[in-house]
Amino acid sequence: MTSKISISDFVFSPNGYGHYKVTYTSPITNKKWQCTTNNMPLIDATKNSDNPKIKDLKMLKTMCKA
């Protein structure tokens, strides 16, 4: 069973100046991973985008699971 990644799988919370706490929830297992990032180009490409690209979402997912 494969599921497409989407922006709704992520929760973004500001965490200080220029930092975001990102929580990724797997749509299949409901398991959660968290990371804190200051990679603002990636945040702009995902959270602040009307139509985020799959490659950017996968990069953010990889960052959270690392």
Mean pLDDT by 10 residues, the chain (66 residues): 83 93 93 95 92 94 92
Tokens 């950017």 locate to: 56
Q: Are 34 and 25 in contact (CB under 8 A)?
A: no
d(CA 15, CA 12): 9
pLDDT value at residue 3: 72
Taking the whole predicted model, whether its pTM rises above 0.75 is answered as yes
In this predicted structure, what is the pLDDT of residue 2?
A: 63
Confidence at residue 20, expressed as pLDDT on a 0 to 100 scale:
95
